[in-house]
Every structure is written in structure tokens, then in C-alpha cells.
Structure 1
Amino acid sequence: MSDSSVTPDQNVSSGGLLGLLLSLPGSYAGPQTPAQTPYGLVGVGEGTLAAHLLQALALPSLTRSGTQFVLGSPDAATAATDYADLAEVAGASARRISTGGRPDELDMLVPGGPLSTYHFAQAVAYASGHAEQAGLADAAMSDLAARCAPHITENNPARDLAWSLWGRTPLLLAADDADALPHAWQQLLARTGKTLAVPLLGDLLPLAAGAFDARHEQGDAKVALILGDTTPALLVAREILDSRIDEIIHVPAPDGAQGYPAALALWYFGAWVAAYLAERYEAEPADPAVLTRAQAALAGEDVIGDDGEKGRFAAPRDDLRRTRVQEDVSDWDGEDDTDGDDFDDADDQADDQDED
């Protein structure tokens, strides 16, 4: 376990992020020894997306024995602690992996930022006895790095796809058992590419058939991305959408990768596309300052706003319920009135004046 309580900084400029992406394949440097079986996996905060992608390894959410992996970050520390405690009470050993926190609350520290998903995912892949799958994922990512690198100016698939997305709203589609891919690309395109993408989840046929019928112009400037393997339902949805939106693009896994290697490689390709899309918009692909401050607020840290004053982005941690209106608004007569009598009295007075 690392003795650091500081999250490694990956809030980098465009050049820095592209450099990190280029060196990311094979950069996992954590433990590779499998933990005790069986395994369970949950993710909160920065660990949520990695846990979703790791569903390709068929790891259940919770286990009563063996090892419970809990992926998290300081902004979701309370939830991560609750899951770890629950697992240990049930009889499992909790393996807590996070982007930051106190040493006594962590078993492994991974780099924070938009690329933390890779380190989370590979840590669990190795620790759950899937070293071969982890190696195949690195190999697929290395192949993508060679084709998507910044110095590749011709036939760069990530740059070409970013050009197709520029100025459009992406619609994200995937097979039923690969819903982690729309989740991953929506987050990457928002966090890094500064673009809102819309995942189409569940039964695709009603969505494809009806979403643009009332207002056909809503199909303008839309591009659908089919992520990963196709299915008969996806192919039919593609045929329907073909007459309703501007363009449909299939984004398959590289070199026929399957399962977890395909999921991680497609996440990695999405990170390249998002970085180049930010470049097209002349925006920084680094995390916005407001995201950093919001995460710090949820982690319980003092937050410095744009005006230099301390502030918070969240309600007090001990009560996140909605505020009751009668607690904030003065009653008509200065006394508690929960049955609305004062309002009734006012109505009666108004009625009397009308009669006069």
C-alpha cells in the first residue's frame, strides 16, 4: 500500500494528455498477484466507470467470502467505506483501491484524473486472476497508440472520427451486454472532449423509430456511433436511423478483440477521440476547474471559488434532504402554521370585501 494521501495530478494540457495517452499502454505498475477467490466488485466516484467496464470479466457486485474490490475516490469516500465495511462484516476481505485518501483507508493508490479508469481496471484484472486478459488489453491499446499518435497526420482513426463528431451531437449505441461502452464514451466526450453525447440504452427499436418522428429537424447534426460488436437489433436500429439522422459510424473493437480487452481498448480509443475533439474546438482537454473544486467539496476539503473566497458546492454532508419550505418562509402571523389557516383567513377577508 502506498503511504501517500495525495492524488497524482492528471489535469494536464492538450500536449500533456496526448503524451499520457501515448504512454498509457503497459503503464500499470501495481501488484499482479491474484487475491483470494471468490471476487466481488463495486465502484463509486472515479471508480464507477472502471467497475462498469470490468463487467466483461463477469465479476459479481458483492461477495460474502474471498475478496471484495472497492474502487473509489475521495469525493465518494463515505460510500466506499460503507461497501468495504459491509464486505468485511459478511466475511470477505476488502481490497480498497482509490485515487486518494488516508493511508489507513487504502490498500492501493492509483493515479487520478480522466485516465484513472485504466489503472483501476488493470489492477482488478490482475488481482482477479485475469492476467492474460490484462495483457491482451495492453496489446490492443499499444496497437491503437501506434495508429492514433499525434504525429500520425494521415489515416489517424481517432482524428478522423473527431472530425466527424465536430459540430454534431453523438448518439451512442451498443449491444445489450456492452452498455458500459456508451457510459464510457459519454463520460470521455464530456470530460475531455467538452461535448454532450446521448446514450441510447435499453430496447433500441422504439427509440430509433420514434425519437425523431414529431420533429424531423431534431435529426439534423446528429451522428450515431455503434460501439463494439453488432447484433441483429443494432443492425435493424441502424437501418431505421439511416433515414432520420446525418450519419451512422460503426466503431468496432481493434483487431477483433473480445470481452475485457475489447472493452478497455474501446475506452482507450474514445479517450483519443475526445482529446482530438477538444483540439478541434480549441478547448483544453484537461478537467475543468469547477470539476476539481466540486470533487474537493464532496471530499470535505475547503474550496476556493473564482472570487478567492472559500465556498462549497454541496449541501452539508450530514443532511442531503431537500429543505422544507415552511422552515425558510416566515408564517403570516409569525407562528408555526402547518394547516394553512392563515391562507384561508386571507381568502375569507378577500371574499368579504367583494361582497361589500
Structure 2
Amino acid sequence: MAVQPPTEDPLKNHHRYETVKYLSSGSYGFVVLARDRTSGSSVAIKFIERLKGKITKNVEREILNHSILIHPHVVRFEECFLTEKYLAIAMEYAAGGNMYSHVTANHGLQEEHGRFFYQQIILALDYCHKMSISNRDIKLENTLLDSTEPGRNPLIKLCDFGYSINESHSLPKTAVGTPGYTAPEVLMNRTRYDGKLADVWSSGVMLYAMLCCRYPFERPEDDDDPKGQHRIVQRIIKCQYEWPKDKPLSAECKDLMSKIFVADPAARISIAQIQKHPWFRHGLPQNLEVDTYNGHYVKLSKQAADNADAIRRVVREALHEGQEQQSVSGDVDHLAERNSMDTEDSLENDYLSWY
């Protein structure tokens, strides 16, 4: 059940941010668009009420995992801080809305257009996996667009790391994610599974949905069937999907998805193999080496200050009333210097020229 929009300004009297408008809400809390008084830039701020049951280990894990990621296709973490009523997470604002709205507004994307976005999704996932982060909730709604300017292809930004896990600390064992996108091994409640290969499956569902404007394992009759969800789960486990007749796809595109929709994760195509697939390679700059490109951002991420202990303190203080205005954002000067270096880097400029 979605949280109701706030009746009072959650940033009233805040020293740095001021509310511009309410954006959205979910079971976790709500999000507002805010202006940073120090820079004039826009940020999105997620607010989670400071109550037991709301502030959990999952919230702490979400912030910790998100805070270490620095990549053009991941929404940038800015800081977390406390107000009197809320734990707040400030992050980059993506003005173009989410991919679900973009896909439905266009009644599905042309294959070339969908490939353009899928290439970015795989770049982002490859980077996250190199950082030992499995997202576990890849879907259209959790993928944002940075802009909708006429004449410019928007860039995608992965957001929402609420179900993510750092596999350098522990292996995934809980069934999480969104029905319809979830891999068979997750639905079958295996005691351990590879979160990276589960992300590959979800990326395939997302690709199918982008191109076909429907989900591969759902049927129209499922909506009115009390056992509809059960039937969807069974189709996922058995890999029962169809190619829509009204949305013709190339043989290479179908080949890639057939290698993704494999029930046995050990036999499923990997992120590295996707990057070598002919359909995926089409249109990429010849000199783009994903390992080199993402290695650049892995190196930057590891250079960033380690805020893990400070973040844990803020999250845990969220359950103590009267504590507010604490924040964790890392070394601001270091971040400003790093962002400047990103823009000037020749690798970055070569890559962005592709867009």
C-alpha cells in the first residue's frame, strides 16, 4: 500500500534543500523534487518515516550499496540525512520519467530504439556486478530517463537498490523482486542462487517488454483468473513464452532472448556473453571495450571515501527521536573534482559521442 503524500513540507527549515514539488510514493515512503540551495541543482529526495518496521536492515543495505556506485547509467547517490520525522536519501534527479511510461506511451519501441536502451542497461549491470552488487529488481519502473529533450536520445539511469545485495558479503537466498520479472531459480526458493544471473533474466524480460509492450510470461486472460499469478509463475519456471505476431523481431534479437530465457542459470547466457552477441554489438562504437570503460568507473568508485560506518550510524540514529540534520555525503570537494575529471576524460567523451 502506497504511503500518502505528506501534509507538511518535509524539508521545512532545512539548511540545504527546499521542496519544489511532490513526485511519487510507494510502500517505502515518498519522493519529492528539491532544490539544492548551495548549487541551485535539482535532486530527488526519498523520505522514509522514522518508525520501527520502516527503518530496517534492508534500508541500510539499500543506502550502503547505492552509495558506492558511480556510473553514468546509475542514479547518483548524493547523501543521506535525518530530519525530525524522516530518514532522507538525496539522489540525482532524472527528469525524463521512467521507462515504463516511455514504453507504454510509444506502444512498444522499435527494435533499434530498444537495443539502444538495452545496451545501456547491460553496461550498468556489468558495472554493478563488477562492484559485487546484484540489483535483483531490474524492471521498467526502476529505470529512469535523464531527459526528454527533442532531438536527443535520453540516457537511462538504474535506480532503486532496495532489493540489492553485495555478494562480496553474502550470497542471495531470499525470493525478492517483482512478479513477472523474477528468474525461475528465485521463484523456486533455492537456498542459494547467483544474483547476477537472476539480473540477466530480468534484463531479458525488460527487453521483451520494451519491444513488445507486454510481458513474456503473461497472457490477457490472467487478469480475470484467480489463478492467474500461479499460471504466470508456472510459465516462468517452464520458460513458456511466445513471440507476438504483431511485433516482428529480428532473428538475432530472438536468439539473444532465447539464450536469456533458460531455466537453468548455469546454462543461461552471462553478461559478458551478452556483450559479445551480434545483436547487442550492433551500433556500438568499434573502439568501445566495455571492460575498459566500466573498469574506469570501478576504479573511481573504489577511490571514493568509505562512508559505510557513517551511513550505518545515520540509519540507526533514525530510530532515535530528537536526532536530526546529521548527514553523510562523502568528501564534497573530492566528488566535485572527480565529476570534473569524468567529463574531461577522453574515454567518456568517445563513449558519449555514440548517443
Question: Same fold, TM exceeding 0.5?
Answer: no
TM-score of the superposed pair, with normalisation by structure 2: 0.24
TM-score of the superposed pair, with normalisation by structure 1: 0.24
> Which has a greater percent of helix?
1
- Bigger radius of gyration among the two: 1
